[in-house]
Amino acid sequence: MDNSRKKTTKISISIGTVVVIAVVAALAIWLGGNGGSPSKAIIGDWVASTSDLELSFYDDGTILYWGTVGRYTIRSDNALYMEFPSYGEAETYKWGENGGVDYWYVSGNTLKFDGEILNRVK
């Protein structure tokens, strides 16, 4: 008997497995390029095309809203909480793609906020 032969292992991967791996990899790349979460995707300057509304969100939690400086957080349910000490007010906006009053949603360069559609300033 010749023991000099090397044992080889045959690996069998189904097409379905390859497709799943490709989809997961593509999703990871897409999320990485789009901020991956609303708390990252919202960072930047935004302007409405139908009104004079301008918003700026900074990564340190600061917001500039109608010229007023405040603080914002995005909660675990993606609700946007904004607080303005100079006014003594706080507002919460629910996360929702369809938008509307008291809702917000961000995707790419579009921000839906309280019934307005804003575009990212480049």
Question: 93 lies in a domain?
Answer: yes
pLDDT digits (tens, 9 = 90+) for 71-81: 999 999 999 99
Q: Count of CB atoms within 10 A of residue 101's CB?
A: 8
CATH number at residue 97: 2.40.128
Q: Three-class SS of residue 25? A: helix
Question: 95 lies in a domain?
Answer: yes
Domain count, the chain: 1
pLDDT tier for residue 47 given thresholds of 50, 70 and 90 = very high
pLDDT tier for residue 26 given thresholds of 50, 70 and 90 = very low
Question: 8 lies in a domain?
Answer: no
Q: Which residue range forms the structural domain that includes residue 68?
A: 38-120
Question: 101 lies in a domain?
Answer: yes
